Structure 1
Amino acid sequence: SRAAGGNAVDQLRACMRVYADIVMQPFGMCLIRVGDEEVPEPSRTELRRMKSEIDQAFRRLVAQGVEEGALEPCDPKMTAFVIAGALSWIGRWYQPGGGCTPEQIIEQSIG
């Protein structure tokens, strides 16, 4: 997210775009639809660590956005859950070769 540069909202948007793209890839869609409980160890532990890092990045960027005055005051934890939940849901309904490309979905949902 920091590599995207800009303010916290720009970085958050970049992070959201990457996350949305991941959940539309075959492995990401599978993970969203099946859940990490089905992933064998030690991969499950690594996957959960990565998910935690994503959650922490969303929380940090939301908190920074509030501090910068670019976002309304909110609970960063709850907001991160809402963001990740909404973006994860794309992996449930997205169909490769359907009406929209991943980039079109990202543009429509994130901008």
Structure 2
Amino acid sequence: MISNLLAALFATFALGPLQAEIERHAVAAGQPAETLRQSQACLSSEVPALARRASEDTFWTISTIVGISTGWSSPADLLDKSNPDCAPVIKLIRGKGEAADEA
């Protein structure tokens, strides 16, 4: 029961802001259709693993919710950098300068 509650909180306070960040940056970049397609592919591959982790690891879930809600962490940190569907989305969220520094 607690794991279901944590998963619901995680979806509300972590995955919701992640999708909002993707949409905000896609519109600002002027490529909403292409980027939104990539973000949907990325999220469809990442959300099941994130939801599973949220229901299994209470500390990670709470710290992730607090970090994203307070702005200490970026929603892009939830995505797998090695996932080819997520790489363009992460670069979009973080901005070209920051993404280039990581490469």
Question: Normalising to structure 2: TM-score of the pair?
Answer: 0.36
Q: Work out which of the two has the higher radius of gyration on C-alpha atoms and give 1 or 2.
A: 1
Question: Normalising to structure 1: TM-score of the pair?
Answer: 0.34
